[in-house]
Chain A
Amino acid sequence: MSRNAEYPDIFHNEYSKRLAEKYGYKDWMISRFLRFVPNTESLLEYIEKNKSSYSEYIRANSLKMDSVSLKKRLTEKGYLLEETILDEVFKIEKANNASNSNNDKKTNLPTIGSTLEYLKGYYYIQDLSSCIAVGELEIDERGCTTVLDMAASPGGKTTFIAQKMNNTGNIIACEPNPKRMTSLLFNLSRCGVKNTTIFNMPGEDVEKLGIKFDRVLLDAPCSCEGIVTKDETRKKSRNLKDIEICSIKQRNLIQSAFQVLKPCGKMVYCTCSFAPEENEMVVDELMRNNKDNDMELEPLRYGIDGLTEYGDRQFSKELHHTKRLYPHIHHTNGFFIAKLRKKQSQVV
């Protein structure tokens, strides 16, 4: 074992070098993956095999069409829809979505992103992992009147939240990047979302609005390692500094998010990154800094347990309640989800 030339803190060995070379990654990434990704080589193999025909999922938008009618309609058109663990979500069979051109050569079907049903907003193309994260917010139409989506664009999760609220109550969505605003507006409008107010501002500033929330979703800006199946450039385009920068931003955002949560409110923190610095470490630090001791992690249904240690860092034992999703195990993007609850403050 020797030190990585670029990052002396990271040890690599012949095995990591061989994998990096074989699959076209930066060596430091593989050395890290080997420390926490279960069966790393099968992840790399999976990504390689599926990069041009990865699992694609759609979520029925019940604001416009229920999932049974959607399935019937798309099946009649020739698409193959497979049920998933979530009622609203279907996996689109590969045969019909493999092409990147407007028409699939094999079947002559339009790609799933250019059908009339898509334009009408009857469904949203959304990874199962994202849908699971929103599901964990436990939104019900009656109980949740005010929901914050702290990093919203392009609106995949906002539109799902709106659907869970049946377009009632209030969603506040933050997006600081004006260039990403257009796609957010497009998706909200296409999906018929009415109950959302968008602020063109960083999530860190949300306290200034003076609103407290029943639910908060922080789908944090991240290094996006977990979408490497869909975007191969991620194999080489990032460095450790990027992860560090993301991690700092995420720690600030999660702090602000918890601040605006009502007592008994719930918050989901998620990323599409594998990096512990962007996941468990962010949540662990929030818990450590929580002097009021009014926070607890809640168990989640899907995925494998989050890390309780990384390198020489020990995290709170509660961190095993967080979950990790992996492409080669769960057939989703690489994803991390944590669910926090703010306890009712103790009245003395």
Chain B
Amino acid sequence: MFKDIPASAETVLKRAFNNWGIFGLYEKMDIIVKQPRKSNGYSKTEKKPLNDSDEKKDNRDLQVHVCSNRVQKELAIRLQPAHSGIIIGQIKDKRFLPNLSFAELVVRHNPKLNYPYAVLENKSSNLVMYGRDIMGSAIVDFFNGIKENQILIVLNQKKEAIGIGKSRFSGNLITQSDKITIDNIQDIGTHYLKGENRYGAFHGD
């Protein structure tokens, strides 16, 4: 069910926007949340939470949608459509898990690159685009303050977001040549192509 972002989730999300250096953007956004779909069927009707404690449980796992304007946001809350706006990630157990659409926002609005990132050389970019983990030798530039187990944005040499990764090492250790140093969490190929269900659909429609 679409609803306004609950206060607890808003705190998490604001902190994330701040950490990624795009805090100014938050206030300009019309955000709604929804529990992520369990199966792949977008159902027409969804159950409302029964009571307060159910509601709290629901708030532990929320998909974050950005709408274009207030009218769209209100429409989603009133009419409960199958989908609205663009999904930028998930709030799960008080953490924000960004997706590639969020990464694109960061790249566009934070050109100073003061956020966790790794830039890959061309050949590896192509492999990573389709799911490969990242070898240290593939990294040609990275955010200096990188920590172990940190979520970072994977960029190609044109500084376009091609994935989201998680560092296995901190600082310079991330470039160790013979090891996987970044796990591929979400790459542009699988992120989008898994959704490219060509069920009866032709390119060209």
Contacts and interface: CB of A to CB of B under 8 A. Distances in A.
Nearest to B203: A125
B195 A183 contact: yes
Nearest to A57: B204
B204 A209 contact: no
A230 B205 CA distance: 11
B112 interface: no
Contacts of A198: 81-84
Contacts of A120: 160, 188
Interface string A190-220: 1011111111110000000100000000010
Given A178-B42, A180-B197, A189-B87, A113 B204 contact: no
Nearest to A188: B86
A271 to B, nearest CB: 12
Interface string B23-52: 000000000000000001111100000000
Contact of A183 (B81, B85, B196): B196
A50 B160 CA distance: 36
A197 B85 CA distance: 6
B195 A168 contact: no
A270 to B, nearest CB: 11
B68 A186 contact: no
Contacts of B199: 179-180, 182-183
B68 A195 contact: yes
Contacts of B192: 119, 186, 189-190
Interface residues of A, number: 46
B141 to A, nearest CB: 18
Interface stretch (B4-12, B69-77, B146-154): B69-77
A242 to B, nearest CB: 14
Contacts of B40: 182
Contacts of B69: 168-170, 195
Contacts of A192: 86, 101, 104
Contact of B75 (A119, A153, A170): A170
A153 B197 CA distance: 11
Contact of A182 (B84, B104, B195): B195
Given A185-B195, A189-B86, A200-B44, A168 B162 contact: no
A333 interface: yes
A116 interface: yes
B205 A194 contact: no
Nearest to B193: A119
A168 B71 CA distance: 11
B190 to A, nearest CB: 10
Contact of B205 (A119, A154, A170, A197): A154
Nearest to A73: B158
Contacts of A168: 68-69
29 contacts: A56-B203, A116-B188, A125-B203, A156-B204, A168-B68, A180-B200, A181-B42, A182-B197, A183-B195, A183-B196, A183-B198, A186-B196, A187-B196, A188-B86, A189-B86, A189-B192, A192-B86, A192-B104, A194-B68, A194-B86, A195-B68, A195-B85, A196-B83, A197-B76, A197-B79, A198-B84, A199-B79, A199-B81, A199-B82
Interface of A: 56-57, 113, 116, 119-120, 125-127, 130, 153-154, 156-157, 167-170, 178-183, 185-190, 192-201, 209, 219, 227, 230-231, 333
Given A154-B205, A170-B69, 17 more contacts: A56-B204, A168-B68, A170-B75, A181-B42, A183-B198, A185-B83, A189-B86, A189-B195, A195-B72, A195-B85, A198-B82, A198-B84, A200-B42, A200-B43, A200-B81, A201-B44, A230-B202
